Amino acid sequence: MIVGDLKPLQEIVAAIKDYKQVLVLGCGSCVTVCLSGGEKEAEQLSRELSQMRHYHGLPPQFEVGSIIRQCEKDLVLENQKIPSGIDAILSLACGAGVQTLADAFEPLPVIPALNTTFLGASDNPGIWTEKCKGCGECILIHTGGICPIARCAKSLFNGPCGGSKGGYCEVGQGIPCAWTQIVARLKKMDKLHCYEEINASKNWKPGGAAGLRRRVRTGLGDGSNTNHTKNS
């Protein structure tokens, strides 16, 4: 899932202070799960932004809404109506959602309230950890289900570097060495031979190195059962 963090309050205030009526719009998907951008968070942010102490003059007037996903343009256009008088949207979605709203409601300004941080998973309640970089060519079959691109500070492919010590990374205290974890996992799986195999150089083009990525779904009535992501 996509993880996002609320921007500093003063940064948000600076971005909205010149508008008169702002729609604070939550997103009901990833950022709701990580408790940073759902309807509840939109209401809380609206109440805080309404406080006079944040402004030299009068604060904007706020309306609050939420949509299940801000990143689907057809869903947005069908289900999200802009109340009369709104002159800006403050979006609590990831960067994809913000851009989708901006395309859907152009030229209405859409202001991000979150910083999109990483693709992660919840290992423990209330804690999300980066797991994936969306590189476009998954290699987890070779690494015991642990991604060295996302979880190694140097995104190394060939094993731990010289800075790995005692199972931890040299970058910071307490950061596990991803390759130590990979080797340990492969041993448990009785697949340590995967570590010793020589693989072809990774193709970075599907990961965005060849430009903007676009996924086109096929297989609807054409006898095909494949999906294609390509650069455009």
Domain residue extents for the chain: 2-118, 142-200, 202-232
Q: Is 65 exposed, middle or buried (0-12, 13-18, 19+ CB in 10 A)?
A: middle
The CA distance from 186 to 168, in Å, is 18
Q: Could you tell me the pLDDT band of residue 231, with boundaries at 50, 70 and 90? A: low
pLDDT at 20: 97
pLDDT at 25: 97
Which of the four CATH numbers 3.30.70, 3.30.310, 3.30.530, 3.40.50 does domain 2-118 have? 3.40.50
Which of residues 229 and 61 earns the better pLDDT score? 61
pLDDT at 232: 57
